[in-house]
Amino acid sequence: MNIKGRNRVVIENVYPEIDCGKYPIKRVVGENVVVEANIFTDGHDSVSAVLLYKQKKEKNWTESPMNFIVNDRWRGEFLIEDLSNYVYCIEGWVDHFKTWLGDIKKKYDARQDISVDLLIGAKEVERAMYKAKGGDRKRLKEYYEIVCDTGNPDAAIELVNEPEFTNLVYRYPDRSLSSRYGKELLVRVDRKKALFSSWYERFPRSCAPDPGKHGTFQDLEALLPEISRMGFDVLYLPPIHPIGKINRKGKNNSVICNPGDPGSPWAIGSDEGGHKSIHPELGTMDDFLHLVKKTQEHGMEIALDLAYQCTPDHPYVKEHPEWFKKRPDGTIQYAENPPKKYQDIYPINFESEQWKELWEELKSIIEFWIDKGVKIFRVDNPHTKAFAFWEWMIEDLRDKYPDTIFLSEAFTRPKVMYKLAKIGFNQSYTYFTWRNTKKEFAEYLTELTKSEVREYFRPNFWPNTPDILPQHLQFDGRQEFLKRLVLASTLSSNYGIYGPAFELCVQQAVSGKEEYYYSEKYEIKHWDWDAPGNLKNFITRINMIRKDNPALQFTNNLHFCKIENDLILSYVKTTGDLSNIILVVVNMDPYHTQSGFVHVPLEKLGIVPDQPFMVHDLIGDAKYIWKGERNYVELNPHILPAHIFRVHGRLKKETDFDYFM
Amino acid sequence: MNIKGRNRVVIENVYPEIDCGKYPIKRVVGENVVVEANIFTDGHDSVSAVLLYKQKKEKNWTESPMNFIVNDRWRGEFLIEDLSNYVYCIEGWVDHFKTWLGDIKKKYDARQDISVDLLIGAKEVERAMYKAKGGDRKRLKEYYEIVCDTGNPDAAIELVNEPEFTNLVYRYPDRSLSSRYGKELLVRVDRKKALFSSWYERFPRSCAPDPGKHGTFQDLEALLPEISRMGFDVLYLPPIHPIGKINRKGKNNSVICNPGDPGSPWAIGSDEGGHKSIHPELGTMDDFLHLVKKTQEHGMEIALDLAYQCTPDHPYVKEHPEWFKKRPDGTIQYAENPPKKYQDIYPINFESEQWKELWEELKSIIEFWIDKGVKIFRVDNPHTKAFAFWEWMIEDLRDKYPDTIFLSEAFTRPKVMYKLAKIGFNQSYTYFTWRNTKKEFAEYLTELTKSEVREYFRPNFWPNTPDILPQHLQFDGRQEFLKRLVLASTLSSNYGIYGPAFELCVQQAVSGKEEYYYSEKYEIKHWDWDAPGNLKNFITRINMIRKDNPALQFTNNLHFCKIENDLILSYVKTTGDLSNIILVVVNMDPYHTQSGFVHVPLEKLGIVPDQPFMVHDLIGDAKYIWKGERNYVELNPHILPAHIFRVHGRLKKETDFDYFM
């Protein structure tokens, strides 16, 4: 009988626990981990339980109490304080003192003889006493004598109702027969930027001040002050490596490449080098190092694009033909999605027999750039590379460089996207780009923020990318750009835009597609960044609002508000202590004014129901005094499609009203 | 790198898998196991997968195909053919032949040159050819030559559209880089009675033909023909052991015991013996063996009550005081639920240091009765004994005696009830007794039959027990008894009644409680079994309907039908092949006639929508011709509160109408 037969407490259905504990949950420093479990025992005995947690590298557990919620469900929580992986577990035990506390009162109230029962309780107090030291022990000795005094049950019962007494005994529980949950569950801890980041994507080659010239890292440096002023903190560059010359694509993805066509940066590799080289026209490695440094000085970080694929002239093709698939005619298999062919791209063959060398080389690319000061990588099409590779690679690198962040560019099937997050990606692209109606947003955000997905998948919302100019941005005008910006930046704490196409409201697509017409992917652009109608100041304000309001620096704190108009979406976000409350109202109709009564969840927000409270529109700066749950809103999309209200509630004292003066 | 780096298929979220595979799912012989999983790979390659299964003791896996459903979800199934535990697993692989099949057609349709592609496919055919033998190999050789013939792509494409070709290549897949799911999941297989059983509970001591006499096993034997005629197949006896004399309870659970009061059979143990002895007034062990034999001859089985608790005069108390809790005054702790005291019962202390000896002894009780021919045990209050004990005990016994069935009598918190099922109980009492409205039934049965619970928790529905005379049976008259019988016996394939209190419609309760007034638990009854108004013939018919209609011999095949009247509950049950279709309609209002249009799910039932079909009420024998989805029903509870229709649909040929002649 290889069983702990006397340990009667059951601990099961622990949440969060991803795929039976195979994958970690994710947190950033400063976030809480809330843990729930079914905890119970046989019979009528009471149970106590603690949540155990520690940094993985530490030896000793810290404990925090677990509390009974309802129906054998218990809950506890702990705070992530350091950039270090944590583990958690649960311990529960039959608590005879707690059982006794509950029983003795009932018996006393029923006027039964409790003298033997007092002696049973006294044993518990005595047990605690022998465990305690110093003042506690002395105090417990006094309590012990009172409980022992069967001639004076009233005094003992008075004690039983005294929290000082009960808490002191609880401090020394008898856990000799406790049960421990069978697994230690991992928390992968990231730095704060993994949860709160504002991305700006820009092609360096389009940064030259002179039209027609190839932009350089130096040209991009000149734009850093403005990008920083706009409030972004991640500057993401499409691939900066030499661009293939064989089968290079021309303008508008044409198979005909005219002289001077620069090709797509995602067609990586030429006689000038591969993934560890820099496209010569952008500058030198020193220029890049300088850019990295300057970007940091402006409070931002460079994110590089990681596209594991090669052009026919990539050095790997010659040096490691075994990493590619060979066709029966001796040529190497190019990428295809029949009947489409991508003859400028050779996919890597993850079934290669030399997979170990391949994996090491791919990892070394990232280490190369980490060494150059890059810590953020936007990974191109990760779902077309072997999952086992990502899992191995990210875990290995994250152990060495815990501040690395990988953003997964996978607009693919949901289970595949979630799998990538489980195996290590810190942020992920999403279906945000194709969600349109209030119902679609409510359903999708509920899945992202209220299901288990919230524990390991961090959305990053992009209204546009060089690959995607969604239909609504093609047809619904400037106000639609404003709307999508507000939605992306307030629904998700991570968001990004592809600029300047976004702030210049570029709307022209390849007919019938969601592709940019004359896409920057295949040519150098000269943007008139200050063109009339540009959204730079609006974006600046939105990013400022995000920086000033910690409620917007989380995603899972989202709560949708009821409103009797299907064309208005409204939601609140708050900090845990309710010191920062943001209420967003968005008119989903790009053409007409919409109005309605938004239901403010007063109780959830800690607002006294019968007192007025102030809402301050952080976009338009207007202030309103509201009262009660239902409050009127009206939005003309041609003026502004959204409110971002800061709610000033909890007005319990008159002096708080000073705020309104 | 201790990884299978080239194996690219992901298999996860397998269903069913109870608590990460810690607990088995349950099936009876003849049932299917339907298994689902998320199966996918990186990139655009196609995937194939098989469900692996075998009897646990076998060495080799059998395979059955898994099919893609939707959104990376796959499904397969297998049949339980033997009373033996099974295991199942999943294997998936990148199927390059399947990928090729999909691609080559698209390329051909786009009029691309496919000569190299044909050679790629030919390699796949060749690979299959070398694996195949005999006729298959010869055939594949012919195919190979066709596919190789790049000068004649049309012939190859013709082949690609030919299932004979594709299926033959699929028969020899390349699984060298396949992925296997990481766990082998267990199916605990029971005999059919675990899923389909009709229980009749009866106190042998109340079976004497002479009023006032203590009934015996022999007296009970005389009733076997009638119990058998009524259609029951499990005859469940309350404890048959010596009843304690110390602190024995009197009539109506009184602490005053008058001379001649027989006490409660659940107060087990006296100077006449304990759990392995027979109460002398019931007869001898030989009488019992005779009863077991006679019961079998009548097509029934004896179920014994397993109540692990002792009276103060139980032999264990003297022989093993270490198995009980001692109070500070030296006495043994009696059962209590403060302020209530049960001084006639000593609970066993599962925290005893001698737990190993205790567990062995408790197990030996069951083995003792198994040796006497008993295979079914109704376990009293299992939730007040340690879960680890049950898990160990049931697993151990079930390995030796796979046809043993344990029914868990636990009307406790849901998670506790489900836990008992997970750790081995084959059937369980439920909340059926306290479900009343249509909404309550729909919600509860959906939980039982459509959630994961269905895989391991087999409900047994009891309208009454000696402990429970529910309110509706106290107040709503004879028609309520009919209604609850129909509900119990058609919603659940396992059901039982406590008789003759049920069939005699005994309605008198202790005021304000759900306890029988002058409960049989504390006194000997003399039942007038043939009293006017008794339900014996109704019960007989219901049990006959259950025996004749396999659709009623399953529980999870339940499907609720829509009906625009909240006081009518309607549901269908079918066999997998639709050869048996039962439609039940119950008037939930015990006082008034209710009517409405029941929506028959024609498509689900395989009934041609525009053809009439016949429904035959197996209770009242009436027949109706219905047509279309919505059909009128009307039930007067004072005549009959329910229909149990057998539906004769699928009338595709005219000759089928003969049935109506």
Structure tokens at A558: 């989202």
Chain B hits for A353, CB-CB cut-off 8 Å, are: 6
Chain B hits for A122, CB-CB cut-off 8 Å, are: 328
The closest alpha carbon to A204, from A298, A280, A311, A308, belongs to A280
Which range, of A47-61, A153-167, A638-652, B515-529, averages the lowest pLDDT? A638-652
Kindly tell me if the per-residue pLDDT of A25 is higher than 50: yes
Minimum CA–CA partner of B13 in chain A: A19
- Cβ–Cβ contact B255 with A under 8 A: no
Name the phi and psi angles at B616, rounded to 5: -120, 115
CA distance B163 to chain A (A): 22
The per-residue pLDDT for range A63-110, each reduced to its tens digit, is 999 999 999 999 999 999 999 999 999 999 999 999 999 999 999 999
**Predicted local distance difference test score (pLDDT) of residue A608:** 87
Centre a 10 Å sphere on the Cβ of residue A409 and count the other Cβ atoms it contains.
Answer: 23
- Cβ–Cβ contact B328 with A under 8 A: yes
CA distance A172 to chain B (A): 20
User: What percent of chain A stands above pLDDT 90?
Assistant: 94
Do A389 and B5 make contact, defined as CB atoms within 8 angstroms? Answer: yes
Do A107 and B44 make contact, defined as CB atoms within 8 angstroms? Answer: no
Chain B hits for A123, CB-CB cut-off 8 Å, are: 328
Cβ contact B75:B34 at 8 Å:
yes
Q: Which among B4, B43, B103 has CB closest to A384?
A: B43
CA distance B239 to B253: 17
With cut-offs at 50, 70 and 90, classify the pLDDT of residue A651: low
- What b/e string do you get for A500-528 counting C-beta neighbours within 10 Å, with b at 16 or more? bbbbbbbbebeeeebbbeebbbbbbbebe
Minimum CA–CA partner of A412 in chain B: B43
Do B40 and A353 make contact, defined as CB atoms within 8 angstroms? Answer: no
E strands in B161-278: 179-180, 185-190, 197-201, 234-237
E strands in B56-195: 62-65, 67-70, 73-79, 86-94, 179-180, 185-190
**Predicted local distance difference test score (pLDDT) of residue A657:** 42
Query: Please, what is the end-to-end C-alpha distance for chain A in angstroms?
Result: 75
Chain B hits for A12, CB-CB cut-off 8 Å, are: 19, 419
Do A5 and B384 make contact, defined as CB atoms within 8 angstroms? Answer: no
**Predicted local distance difference test score (pLDDT) of residue B651:** 52
Q: Which among A123, A384, A388 has CB closest to B3?
A: A388
CA distance A401 to A370: 9
- Cβ–Cβ contact A61 with B under 8 A: no
Listed in sequence order, the residues at least 6 apart from A601 whose beta carbon sits closer than 8 Å to its beta carbon are A559, A561, A572, A629
Do B3 and A337 make contact, defined as CB atoms within 8 angstroms? Answer: no
pTM over 0.90: yes
* Strand bridging mode B234-237 / B197-201: parallel
CA distance B180 to B351: 42
3-state SS, residue A476? coil
CA distance B562 to B598: 6
CA distance A516 to A514: 7
Listed in sequence order, the residues at least 6 apart from A196 whose beta carbon sits closer than 8 Å to its beta carbon are A28, A493, A494, A546, A553, A554
Kindly tell me if the per-residue pLDDT of A55 is higher than 60: yes
Cβ contact A650:A608 at 8 Å:
yes
**Predicted local distance difference test score (pLDDT) of residue B655:** 42
Mean pLDDT of A194-202: 98
User: What percent of chain A stands above pLDDT 70?
Assistant: 98
> Tokens 């909240």 correspond to what residue?
B566
CA distance A573 to A458: 16
CA distance A661 to A644: 21
DSSP B335-356: EEETTEEETT-EE--TT-TTHH
Chain A hits for B5, CB-CB cut-off 8 Å, are: 350, 355-356, 359, 386, 388-389, 392
- What b/e string do you get for A322-335 counting C-beta neighbours within 10 Å, with b at 16 or more? ebbeeeeeeebebb
Cβ contact A374:A303 at 8 Å:
yes
The residue annotated as part of the active site, out of A36, A124, A221, A409, is: A409
Q: Which of residues 161-180 of A touch B (CB under 8 A)?
A: 177
The closest alpha carbon to B73, from B34, B44, B26, B102, belongs to B34
The closest alpha carbon to A413, from A424, A393, A428, belongs to A428
**Predicted local distance difference test score (pLDDT) of residue B610:** 85
Do B386 and A8 make contact, defined as CB atoms within 8 angstroms? Answer: yes
Kindly provide the ipTM of the predicted complex, given to two decimals: 0.94
CA distance B295 to B232: 11
Mean pLDDT of A110-124: 95
> Does the annotation count A452 as an active-site position?
no
**Predicted local distance difference test score (pLDDT) of residue B656:** 45
> Tokens 């029971």 correspond to what residue?
B190
> Does the annotation count B409 as an active-site position?
yes
Interface test with A, best of B2, B6, B358 (most A CBs within 10 A): B6
CA distance A583 to A574: 9
Do B44 and A328 make contact, defined as CB atoms within 8 angstroms? Answer: no
Do A110 and B338 make contact, defined as CB atoms within 8 angstroms? Answer: yes
CA distance A654 to chain B (A): 48
**Residue ranges, chain B, pLDDT below 70:** 1, 650-661
CA distance B492 to B552: 8
CA distance A117 to chain B (A): 8
Chain B hits for A43, CB-CB cut-off 8 Å, are: 347, 383-385
Kindly tell me if the per-residue pLDDT of A656 is higher than 50: no
Q: Which of residues 82-111 of A touch B (CB under 8 A)?
A: 94, 102-104, 106-107, 109-110
**Predicted local distance difference test score (pLDDT) of residue A659:** 41
Q: Which of residues 8-37 of B touch A (CB under 8 A)?
A: 8, 10, 12-13, 19-21
**Predicted local distance difference test score (pLDDT) of residue A654:** 45
3-state SS, residue A253? helix
Do A351 and B419 make contact, defined as CB atoms within 8 angstroms? Answer: no
> Tokens 């039983």 correspond to what residue?
A160
Chain A hits for B419, CB-CB cut-off 8 Å, are: 10, 12, 40
- Cβ–Cβ contact A339 with B under 8 A: yes
**Predicted local distance difference test score (pLDDT) of residue B650:** 61
Q: What is the mean pLDDT of chain A?
A: 95
The residue annotated as part of the active site, out of A190, A380, A480, A589, is: A380
**Predicted local distance difference test score (pLDDT) of residue A650:** 61
Name the phi and psi angles at A509, rounded to 5: -115, 160
The closest alpha carbon to A44, from A103, A92, A90, belongs to A103
Do B5 and A359 make contact, defined as CB atoms within 8 angstroms? Answer: yes
Q: Which among B3, B103, B122 has CB closest to A338?
A: B103
**Predicted local distance difference test score (pLDDT) of residue B3:** 79
- Cβ–Cβ contact B425 with A under 8 A: no
